[in-house]
A and B are shown apart, each in its own frame.
Chain A
Amino acid sequence: MKKILAILLLVTITGCSTTAPVVTKFPQVPAELVQPAGKLTPLDTSKKVELSDIIENANENAGKYYALREKYNAWIEWYNSQKKIFDDIK
């Protein structure tokens, strides 16, 4: 009788098991941030290079760096914000 009771109690406990089907989508990334990084522009050696060409080239490449830096910082901000939002789901 005790064995039967023990088995029946074990069966009873299985009634408490279940799974929670909650589906979360991976958050979207702003389109601007998924563009691949461009290359730096070298000096055009096919013509005579002057100091002004070098400065202009440095200016253009610096612009590319600063644009990339903004995207990189935006990625950090995106990650931290999304992490906070999804960590709050409890």
Chain B
Amino acid sequence: MGQLHWMFSLIPDDFLVWVYYLLTGAGVVLYIASKLVNLIPMMGQYKFPVELIGVTILVAGSYLLGGYGTEMSWRERVKELQAKVVEAEQKSEKVNTVIQTKVVTKIQVVEKQVEVVRTQIQKDKEIINADCKIPDIAIIDYNKAIADPSEEKK
């Protein structure tokens, strides 16, 4: 069925749609003719074949016409969605740039703050250390508190 659609896609759409309309129309005409054929003398024997051909052509025409209409409406929908996706991707990139700039700026503020405090500690070092003796156990406990629990499990 896919190959059939591909072959049809090579024929210009405007031409195809007219063929589909003609087929459907011919089907309708033949079907109506099959109902009227009894009115013409000697033609009654063709009623069934004409009806069968008419219905077959009508169904084939409807199938192709319906398929064409669906295909066109989906193509339109795909085009619409693709445009929205492109727009969304552009918005997404803009948002990324904003977030990247924001996070870099905020981290710079943090680093600056750390540096300011470090300088202040260096300046106050003598006063801070003047009356303070740190027992070794305090340092061991402090490092234990900092140690990564997920690494200790390994």
Contact = CB atoms under 8 A, between A and B. Distances in A.
Interface of A: 1, 4-5, 8-9, 11-12, 14-18, 20-25, 27-33, 39-43, 45, 49-52, 54-56, 59-63, 66-67, 70-71, 74, 77-78, 81-82, 85-86, 88-90
A52 B134 CA distance: 10
Q: Is the interface of A mostly helix, strand, loop or mixed?
A: helix
B129 A49 contact: no
B64 interface: yes
A49 B140 CA distance: 11
Contact of A11 (B59, B88, B95, B132): B59
Given A8-B55, A11-B63, A51 B117 contact: no
Given A15-B63, A32-B100, A52 B128 contact: yes
B118 A21 contact: no
Given A27-B92, A77-B99, A61 B146 contact: yes
A82 B59 contact: no
Contact of A9 (B59, B71, B96): B59
Given A50-B134, A51-B132, A74-B103, A63 B96 contact: no
B134 to A, nearest CB: 6
B103 A70 contact: yes
Given A22-B81, A27-B92, A89-B84, A15 B70 contact: yes
B154 interface: no
B70 A31 contact: no
Nearest to B104: A32
A88 B74 CA distance: 19
Contacts of A39: 148
Contacts of B67: 15-16
Interface stretch (B11-19, B38-46, B105-113): B105-113
B95 A59 contact: no
Contacts of A49: 134, 139
B49 interface: no
